[in-house]
């Protein structure tokens, strides 16, 4: 794959529920966990998605239906052609002893990170947070992984609560040396806050989402105010050190017009 758009045939579709599906494409690429591709449906739009797996002959993205494009993508079937470009951005750095913290669809890139950690024989623990059991993709696979702890807000699967709530107890059990998180921004803020309660603080790698247009660093749509960091180039995974000086963290993001809501 390259930064130029090419069309690829969908090999397989895995339906986790009607609004949450994984799509495998017949394509081999070199990509870090956390990097993303732009998917294009002609006549609809082009939107960014993290890789949820990279296999010998296939790549995979996992999509949650939240709006016009992602709802349309739920109709894509094996044999259909989809435009893809990428991979883009900087991903996670796999580290021995890493603790992964995911919220909802944010667990998708962590699945590829977990795959890479296993391939490199690095130990890890993974806290998988979802609102409800319906939001969990790859349920059978994740329930059988000894590294995973599943937490749901309504208690419909795993332990009841939020992913960040269990970090303190995990740390008491076995000190956390590095955190990798992906999910809603409020969750990233909480993970960062937790990491900063220690001295020295626990290093973090946080994966951010912003409305994206060009994905190659030209348009400025996904810049983080206070630093000018571009989520599509310097991100989407940023370290705690890189985030120093960001003034818009946890505030409403720029929309399609480029304006920030008041």
Chain residues that interact with ligand FAD, rule: CB under 6 A = 36, 45, 47-50, 62-64, 66-70, 105, 108, 209-212, 236
The number of C-alpha atoms within 13 Å of 139 and in the hemisphere containing its C-beta is 16
Q: Which of 179, 150, 170, 254 is nearest to 209 (CA)?
A: 254
81-88 and 6-17 strand pairing: antiparallel
CB of 112 to ligand FAD, least distance (A): 10
The minimum distance between CB 158 and ligand FAD, in angstroms, equals 21
Task: Decide whether 68 or 161 has the Cβ nearer to ligand FAD.
Answer: 68
Report the alpha-carbon distance of residue 171 to residue 72 in Å, rounded: 42
Token pair recorded at residue 185: 């921004």
Distance CA 63, CA 163 (A): 21
Closer residue to ligand FAD in complex, CB, 74/133: 74
Nearer to ligand FAD, 105 or 178 (CB): 105
Residue nearest to ligand FAD (CB): 67
Which pair of tokens denotes residue 33?
A: 């966990």
Hey, what are 86's tokens? 């990428």
Query: What is the residue whose two structure tokens read 């895995």?
Result: 14
- Would you say 33 or 158 has its CB closer to ligand FAD? 33
Burial of 261: CB neighbours in 10 Å, binned 0-12, 13-18, 19+: exposed
Distance of closest approach, residue 174 Cβ to ligand FAD, in angstroms = 29
Closer CB to ligand FAD, residue 24 or residue 202?
24
C-alpha angle with apex 188: 184 to 192, nearest 5 degrees? Answer: 170
CB of 97 to ligand FAD, least distance (A): 25
Question: Does residue 103 sit in helix, strand or coil?
Answer: strand
Minimum separation from the CB atom of position 144 to ligand FAD (A) = 22
Q: For the chain, give me the number of helices (H) and strands (E)?
A: 6, 15
**What one-character DSSP code corresponds to residue 100?**
E
Min dist. Cβ of residue 44 to ligand FAD (A)? 8
CB of 22 to ligand FAD, least distance (A): 10
- Cβ proximity to ligand FAD, 150 vs 206, nearer residue: 206
- Nearer Cβ to ligand FAD (49/124): 49
């Amino acid at each position: 794959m390259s930064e130029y758009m090419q069309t690829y045939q969908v090999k397989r579709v895995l339906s986790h529920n009607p609004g949450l599906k994984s799509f495998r494409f017949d394509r081999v690429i070199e990509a870090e966990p956390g990097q993303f591709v732009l998917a294009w449906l002609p006549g609809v739009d082009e939107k960014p998605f993290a890789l949820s797996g990279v296999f010998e002959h296939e790549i995979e993205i996992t999509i949650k239906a939240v709006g016009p494009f992602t709802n349309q993508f739920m109709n894509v079937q094996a044999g259909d052609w989809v435009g893809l470009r990428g991979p883009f951005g900087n991903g996670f750095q796999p580290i021995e002893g890493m603790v992964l913290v995911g919220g909802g669809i944010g667990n998708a890139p962590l699945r590829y990170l977990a795959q890479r950690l296993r391939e490199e024989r690095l130990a890890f623990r993974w806290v998988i947070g979802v609102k409800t059991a319906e939001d969990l993709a790859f349920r059978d696979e994740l329930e059988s992984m000894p590294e995973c702890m599943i937490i749901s807000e309504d208690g419909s699967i795993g332990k009841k609560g939020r992913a960040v709530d269990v970090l303190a107890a995990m740390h008491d059990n076995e000190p956390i040396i590095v955190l990798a998180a992906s999910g809603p921004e409020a969750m990233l803020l909480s993970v960062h806050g937790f990491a900063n309660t220690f001295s020295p603080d626990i290093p973090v790698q946080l994966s951010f989402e912003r409305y994206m247009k060009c994905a190659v660093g030209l348009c400025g749509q996904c810049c983080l105010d206070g630093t000018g960091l571009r989520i599509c180039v310097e991100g989407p995974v940023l370290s705690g050190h890189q985030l120093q000086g960001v003034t818009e963290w946890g505030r409403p993001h720029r929309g399609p017009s480029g304006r920030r809501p008041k």
